[in-house]
Amino acid sequence: MARFSERQTMKNKHEENNFNLQNIVLPHNEEAEKATIGAMLLEKNAVYEVIDFLKPEMFYDEFLKSIYEAILKVEENSKVDLITVAEELKKTNENVDITRITLLTVNVCSAAHIKTHATIIYQDYLRRKLILSCAKTVSDSEDASVDVSDLIDNHLSNIENIVNNTIENETIPISSVVDESFEAYQERVKRVNEGQSIGVHTGLNRLDRVLNGFQAGSLNIIAARPAMGKTSFMLNIARKAAKRGHNIFIVSLEMTNVSLVDRMIIAESGIDSGNYKAGRLTSEEYELMIYGRERIASLPIEINDTALMTVQQIKSQAKKLKRKGKCDIVLIDYLQLIEAQHMKDRTKNNEISEITRTLKIMAKELSVPVVLLSQLNREVERRTDKIPILADLRDSGAIEQDADVVLFIHREHYYNDNANKHDGIVRIAKNREGMVGDVKFWVDETISDFRDEAPRNSTFVSGNYERDDDLPF
């Protein structure tokens, strides 16, 4: 069988010209394509051997591609054979060459080798995609106006799409899933016996007992109205999870990396944030700050504070860190600042939906939890009961739909001056794997530290209490 044919479709010719491949004939196997179509026309059930992974666009020959498209349409309502497929083709092309179609069955004795031939088509398709992707990268690399980082991200994204096409949609016997489930259970038991959390530490032990930490592959939304402390809560998660050995990746679209680190140093040191920012630390506070600074510097945390990042750029960064073993959880501040891929007639709801769906897929692919901060709409301000509900999620119902866990941060002191300013709740509004309800927390807003309860010394003075690792939490 000839590996390469002289005949090219206009589409492929166009692609070749665009990427300076005029003298290269892209991989394809005309004989395998003919044999695959012939087998499906010869035996009515042959299509079911390949339908799960063989797509029309994988055919190099446009005529054979059109036949396969007709076969798929016929298969939906009728039996596939020469007559039914020919009739389907006539709906779009009255001058279809029936004789040419008939000849496809002449050299096919049976459908016994259809999967082998279809696999050749599939592999050649991937080779073509790889060649075109690499050629485009080469071509773009010659343009000095193209940012190198964007070039690399685009190339990795294209390669990723090709890789995803290599995953066949195969069924799995339930027995193997049961075995996998039991292995996962044994791993959880092992982690518990070793004093480790099942998921990534949430920063609050009470919350961990409900969620079992942030779970691998999950999309977790943390939402609140402005000034409730979303960013501080996120940094609390990052700092305390990192101290337990988890590798943290923070994407900050609002604050600079220096501002984030300053907050973590203040929280770790227990020093007054006003004195720190004003450069008026006492000698005691200065010593505590140096100690906290060293602690924070040693934590496994990576930060990207690039403004206007797209969801694809975030995904690319997370994958790079995952390959290096430096990403156990992704924390993003915040959803509404992620740059969307603007398209004609695209609404804000559609953009948000695309972002949350992509992040959910990323969490599953990388097997890491994604924690995504989000703004709430103003409806909560108009209600007597100020505790947020799912309907308060801003911009899109897809946020609730795609999320595995939705957490709301609420501090009554924000609305009521008579309420204790240190008290707050995390409302678990959605939990795909467990219970919902309220978890209380205690916060020192002076140092942005969140805890399960107030320190043991009942008379609270900012900075005058033991650090986290001295507390039984």
Domain residue spans of the chain: 10-164, 200-470
What is the Cα 347 distance to its own chain's centre? 21
pTM, 2 dp:
0.65
**Rounded to an integer, what distance in angstroms lies between the CA atom of residue 357 and that of residue 311?**
10
The pLDDT, as a whole number, for residue 461 is: 35
Q: 438: which residues sit within 8 A by CB, 6+ positions away?
A: 425, 426, 427, 428
Q: What is the mean pLDDT of the chain?
A: 81
169 exposure class (CB count in 10 Å sphere: 0-12, 13-18, 19+): exposed
**What's the one-letter identity of residue 221?**
I
Around Cβ 144, how many Cβ atoms within 10 Å? 6
Q: Please state which of the ranges 15-24, 47-56, 182-191, 198-207 shows the lowest mean pLDDT.
A: 15-24
Which one is catalytic: 160, 254, 285, 400? 254
pLDDT digits (tens, 9 = 90+) for 267-311: 898 888 888 888 888 889 899 999 999 999 999 999 999 888 888
Q: pLDDT value at position 221?
A: 93
Fold designation for 10-164: DNAb Helicase; Chain A (1.10.860)
Superfamily of domain 200-470: P-loop containing nucleotide triphosphate hydrolases (3.40.50.300)
465: pLDDT strictly greater than 50: no
Distance of CA 83 to the CA centre of its chain: 46
CB within 8 Å of 8: residues ≥ 6 apart: 16, 25, 26
412 is catalytic: no
Q: Which of 443, 380, 367 is nearest to 408 (CA)?
A: 380
Cα gap 36→201, rounded to integer Å: 53
pLDDT band at 3 (very low <50, low <70, confident <90, very high): very low
Better-predicted residue by pLDDT, 54 or 163? 54
Q: Where are the beta strands (DSSP E) in 237-357?
A: 248-252, 301-304, 329-333
- % residues pLDDT > 90 (the chain): 23
Measured CA to CA, the distance from residue 331 to residue 62 in angstroms comes to 46
One-letter amino acid for residue 373 of the chain: L
CA 331/CA 269 separation, integer angstroms: 22
C-alpha torsion sign, points 85, 87, 88, 89: positive
